[in-house]
Structure 1
Amino acid sequence: MGTQDIYEVCYHAPAAKVVVMHMEAINHCLLTRIELKKFLRQERLDDRVQVPADGEWLEF
Structure 2
Amino acid sequence: MRMIGKQTLEELEIPIPSMERQHRIIALNQLATEEQRLLSLLLGKGKQLVNYQLSMIMDQL
TM-score w.r.t. length of structure 1: 0.24
Bigger proportion of residues as strand: 1
Bigger proportion of residues as helix: 2
TM-score w.r.t. length of structure 2: 0.24
